[in-house]
Amino acid sequence: MTAPLRSTDPITVNVALGDRAYDIVIGRGLLASLGTRIAALRPGAAALIVSDENVARHHLASAQAALRNANVRAGEIVFAAGEQAKSWRTFETICEGILAARIERSDLVIAFGGGVVGDLAGFAAAVSRRGLDYVQVPTTLLAQVDSSVGGKTAINSRHGKNLVGAFHQPILVVADTALLDTLPAREFRAGYAELVKYGLLGDAAFFAWLEVNWRDLFAGGPAREHAIAVCCRAKAAIVARDEREIGDRALLNLGHTFGHAFEAACDFSERLLHGEAIALGMALAFEFSARRGLLPMTEADRVIRHLAAVGLPTHLKDIAGGVPGIDALMDLIAQDKKVKRGKLTFILARGIGAAFIAPEIDAAEVESFLAEKLGQ
């Protein structure tokens, strides 16, 4: 799997969902073409840009200029950054903002930011005026390979994360890889865990390629666009097969059952970013798979070695401030929506690139594995 030399041509990946199919375009500097792309897709449409303060500070002026140059009239709503924005309150502000800006059924919403902005703006578009079109312009690595593709939108409830939302596909995703140059290094690294996930779950050659090329990807070389395109192709194929996660879309949850429990244990705070939790969760999922004899321990060690090489956490002791005891951790795992009648659904692996859905894992087995890990 060789990365192409830098080319000025964007890479296009189609998400094949019949009359709701859409393109993901990936390339450096693509933001400048946002207006012409929107004008071509929806001639005469007005737009409302939804963004957070960090993204707006760095990039909103460029986005507005790109729209202006193509005569796309666009208002903006900017809110404070962070996961706590995925609230009823911010959601209401965005919905009311959409109406105040007189965005009609023939107009559209532009989600300009990371996963938080994408989830909020996408959900607001799903319900405002009973459904508006929206365009995703993801600005984090996580959003470019994961949250902007596939149409899951949500806000958080006091009962848990992402519990109120809708499936609502965007009409276009524009992933400008240059926007990632301003992303804090820790956020970039956390997003990288989701790229590794695609290799681990179904593409051993991509994982091997990442082991060799990750430095170029981090540095903003041509490996970046190539890797993002590989991930988007993988996600697009899964979403086209299983839009509503009835079947193998659940493979995308590799590392997430463990990971969500650690995130919750840290109160979804800066102590542990989502991608960091997923790195740790994937390391444990591979180790757990090896314990069950599904793959050699050397294979799990290879996964752990790569995650650690880029600076992602792979051991429970890597979590700043520590984690609660085994009972609290098991409670958090049990609260996860993937639990049915005392049995846990896990994504396990028969090797790198060979993940599968294991629906009947005994909670007791997970408990003794985690208890041992806590002791190390």
Ligand X SMILES: NC(=O)c1ccc[n+]([C@@H]2O[C@H](COP(=O)([O-])OP(=O)(O)OC[C@H]3O[C@@H](n4cnc5c(N)ncnc54)[C@H](O)[C@@H]3O)[C@@H](O)[C@H]2O)c1
The residues annotated with a catalytic role in the active site are 130, 152, 194, 235, 245, 249, 253, 256, 260, 274
**Residue closest to ligand X (Cβ):** 115
Beta-carbon-side half-sphere exposure of residue 364 (alpha carbons within 13 Å): 0
Q: Could you list the residues that contact ligand X (CB under 6 A)?
A: 52, 54-55, 58, 81, 83, 86, 113-117, 119, 139-140, 142-143, 146-147, 150, 152, 162, 179, 182-183, 187, 274
**Looking at beta carbons only, is 143 or 285 nearer to ligand X?**
143
**Looking at beta carbons only, is 45 or 154 nearer to ligand X?**
154
Least distance from C-beta 11 to ligand X, angstroms? 19
> What is the rounded CA–CA span in Å between residue 35 and residue 64?
9
Least distance from C-beta 298 to ligand X, angstroms? 30
Estimate to the nearest angstrom the gap between the alpha carbon of 70 and the chain centroid: 30
> What is the rounded CA–CA span in Å between residue 122 and residue 168?
7
Task: State both tokens at 189.
Answer: 């690294």
Of how many residues is the chain composed?
376
> What is the rounded CA–CA span in Å between residue 132 and residue 37?
18
> What is the rounded CA–CA span in Å between residue 163 and residue 260?
14
Which runs of E-coded beta strand occur in the chain?
11-15, 22-27, 47-52, 74-79, 108-113, 133-138, 152-157, 160-167, 172-176, 339-340, 343-349, 355-362
> What is the rounded CA–CA span in Å between residue 103 and residue 177?
29
Least distance from C-beta 193 to ligand X, angstroms? 10
Measure CA of the first residue to CA of the last residue in the chain; give whole Å: 37
**Looking at beta carbons only, is 226 or 256 nearer to ligand X?**
256
Least distance from C-beta 375 to ligand X, angstroms? 31
Least distance from C-beta 80 to ligand X, angstroms? 9
**Looking at beta carbons only, is 139 or 169 nearer to ligand X?**
139
Task: Say if CB 249 and CB 242 are below 8 A apart.
Answer: yes
Least distance from C-beta 189 to ligand X, angstroms? 11
**Looking at beta carbons only, is 82 or 342 nearer to ligand X?**
82
Beta-carbon-side half-sphere exposure of residue 101 (alpha carbons within 13 Å): 23
> What is the rounded CA–CA span in Å between residue 289 and residue 280?
14
Q: Is the dihedral of CA 229, 234, 237, 241 positive or negative?
A: negative
**Looking at beta carbons only, is 152 or 224 nearer to ligand X?**
152
